[in-house]
Structure 1
Amino acid sequence: MAERSAVPGEQRVFSLVLALIVSPQGLTKRALLSSVYGYADRFRPGEANVALERQFERDKEQLRALGIQIETIDSPQEPGNNQLTRYRISKDRLQFPPELRFSARELVLLRLAALAWSEGSMSAQSRRAAMKLQALGAGFDLQHLGVAPSLGTAEPSAAPLQEAIDAGRAVRFDYTLPDRDAPLARRVAPLRLHRADGRWHLISWDLERDAARVFLLGRISGAVRAERTAFPPALRDEADGIVAELLRLREEQRAVVHVRRGSVAEARLAPRAEPGEPMPGDRAALSLGVLDQHLFAEELIGYGPDAAVVSPPRLRELVVSGLRRIAAAHAARQEDDHA
């Protein structure tokens, strides 16, 4: 029988919070483990379920660290019997303090954060949060914010990688490079998830090659498979150095791009760029560090005539070839429509 895929930790914890809130009288540990999404699929009646109980204790500590207080209610028949203790979360303690108020700009920023998170693994819950913020008066006008958000799709590998990082477990996955058709198998110690250039990277140590490696989550194909084997804890000390090397590499690999003033291209590129030479007219020169020329080229292609690459030549070639492919595809489609 195929092993069921693990429920992402944030979904399990969120389901636990819901169960604890909607039960005014509280629920016993057994009732929670046998019914809550993320526990129930692993619960075995009549068995000790020791690992599941440990997971439950870790999840409770996580909630307390987030400021969510869990109340415990002793059984009147057998006080002190942990198996009969009931757990609940008081709705009153989750309400905003009456003295807490948000300005119009703060509400808009909170809504923007909720919309950005809605592309992640808790999209349904974040949409509810966004609706509540909207009810509080959180409008969404980019002109007032002065930013142009770019909301990407969810990274399916993020949740299992973070769980493996927390547990200290080695992982295996397939990784696709832009110049190869077939993915490459990788076995690494996952150390940290790091965001750079608007994309998530896995900071890791390659256990097969005994070397530092950085992977784009967007290029991980298929499922991330966590091993039971724990990687040496000392490898975590390598993470800061790997990140520093990543940032150094980005600064060495510079690109110069001309953007149209007031365009979305300028709004998205300027915050992570240095101003270049002053230009006349409606164009501005930006100098940016680049980690991956292929991905940066895809981003620039999306801006169309609002962004033009000056250097390096390889990046310019990637953008030009991408635009030519798009033009050819449109031409072919028009021929089919007129055929």
Structure 2
Amino acid sequence: MAGRVPGEQRIFSLVLALVVSPEGLTKRELLSSVYGYAERYRAEGPGAALDRQFERDKEQLRDLGIQIETRDSPLEPGNNQLTRYRIAKELFAFPADLRFDERELMLLRLAALAWREGSLSAESRRAAMRLEALGAGLDVRQLGVAPSLGSAEPAAAPLQRAIDEDRVVSFGYTLPGRDAPLARRVAPLRLHRVEGRWHLIAHDLDRNADRVFLLARISTPVQVSTARFDAALHGRADGIVEDLLRLPERHQAVLRVRRASVAEARLAPRSAPLGAGADGAAGRRDGEEQVELRVGVLDRHMLAAELIGYGADVAVLAPEDLRELVVFGLRRIAAQHAEGAVSDA
């Protein structure tokens, strides 16, 4: 069985293929040539599971606002095997009169930290060369900048395989504050990314309950069973995702953030301003302007870890349990540095 490629890498490769091919590519050409599909195509050949993955990826692109054009073959209109797919390059072009102010440029510079030069992997370069052989006219040297798609989640590949094949999985799941992982046996339904973190949308078979798991907390190798679950369970995924996305509306934190800091740049897009004074700032500290933000809480432990990373640029005003987590984390870091200073003396 061929290994699976994390969804972001596969979808990025699909977008790249659809953009660089002026005439478009057929499904067979895409599945046999694009990184993320080609490995399975070579190992398993065309099949229903690969077709479902392709359809899901197209739907995800539509959800992102990226429209895929389809073109019938002039020789055999209506023959789906000859339909060509493409994305118009104009969809990704900046208007000639587009300008950015200083604050927007600051945010763009921060966003650029998520990119790195020359980040096409060897597999991506080979996929690009295969596309060029198909007549896409792609020059790999022009792809000097590519998005850094985040560190790979070890659990992602086996989970995606199980999702595609409707197979039951089991794994150990470690909750914050616990040393021993909890055993879980689930029907995996979807991998969904929220606030920069991957979540497994699943149905817990032992508890007969819908569940959401952070991939970062899956602490043992994922075991993919030969047993299959009822494919109809996939229909529950949309409702589980909707419940997950409503969590930040019900649970919110109030933060005081230093203006023009990385903390503000990353938290402000997820928040609503609070208590701004006449000068637009919520307050001052040592001559620094501050603003208060209300931020939705999807997972308080993950949010606490993020806030700890901003150091003195952010303070938690509410709720108290989140404030305690951040204070505890900062004190632990301070104690570790103190111990290190003593040992170096």
Structure 1 residues 123 and 184 mapped into 2: Cα distance closer, same or farther (>3 Å)? farther
- Secondary structure of 2:220's counterpart equals strand
Structure 1 residues 114 and 38 mapped into 2: Cα distance closer, same or farther (>3 Å)? farther
**Cα separation, 2, equivalents of 1:293 and 1:113:** 24
How far has the Cα of 1:299 moved from its partner?
0.3
* Paired position in structure 2 for 1:132: 142
* Paired position in structure 2 for 1:280: 283
Matched, 1:300 2:307: yes
Q: Please give the per-residue CA displacement for 1:303-322, whole angstroms capped at 9, x wherever unaligned.
A: 01000000111111111111
Residue type at the aligned position of 2:142: K
Structure 1 residues 183 and 261 mapped into 2: Cα distance closer, same or farther (>3 Å)? same
How far has the Cα of 1:229 moved from its partner?
2.1
Matched, 1:217 2:224: no
* Contact persistence 2:3–2:39 (CA under 8 A): no
* Paired position in structure 2 for 1:80: none
* Contact persistence 2:168–2:226 (CA under 8 A): yes
* Contact persistence 1:115–1:130 (CA under 8 A): no
**What is the TM-score of this pair, normalised by structure 2?**
0.63
How far has the Cα of 1:150 moved from its partner?
9.8
- Note the 1:81-160 alignment, pairs <5 A: 116=114, 123-124=121-122, 125=124, 132-134=142-144, 152-160=150-158
**Cα separation, 2, equivalents of 1:151 and 1:7:** 16
* Paired position in structure 1 for 2:225: 227
* Contact persistence 1:111–1:134 (CA under 8 A): no
* Contact persistence 1:12–1:37 (CA under 8 A): no
Report sequence identity in percent: 52
* Paired position in structure 2 for 1:89: none
Q: Please give the per-residue CA displacement for 1:18-41, whole angstroms capped at 9, x wherever unaligned.
A: xxxxxxxxxxxxxx9xxx96678x
* Paired position in structure 2 for 1:331: 338
How far has the Cα of 1:230 moved from its partner?
2.0
* Paired position in structure 2 for 1:88: none
* Paired position in structure 1 for 2:102: none
**Cα separation, 2, equivalents of 1:260 and 1:324:** 21
The structure 2 residue matched to 1:175, chosen from 173, 176, 194, is: 173
**What is the TM-score of this pair, normalised by structure 1?**
0.64
Larger Rg: 1
Q: Please, which runs of 5 or more residues in structure 2 have no aligned partner?
A: 18-31, 33-37, 59-67, 72-84, 100-104, 129-138, 277-281
Superposed CA RMSD in Å reads 4.9
Number of residue equivalences: 279
* Contact persistence 1:171–1:227 (CA under 8 A): yes
* Contact persistence 1:8–1:160 (CA under 8 A): no
Using CA pairs under 8 Å that are at least 6 residues apart, name the structure with larger relative contact order, 1 or 2: 2
* Paired position in structure 1 for 2:192: 194
- Secondary structure of 2:203's counterpart equals strand
How far has the Cα of 1:286 moved from its partner?
0.6
* Paired position in structure 2 for 1:206: 204
Residue type at the aligned position of 2:314: A
How far has the Cα of 1:202 moved from its partner?
1.0
How far has the Cα of 1:335 moved from its partner?
0.9
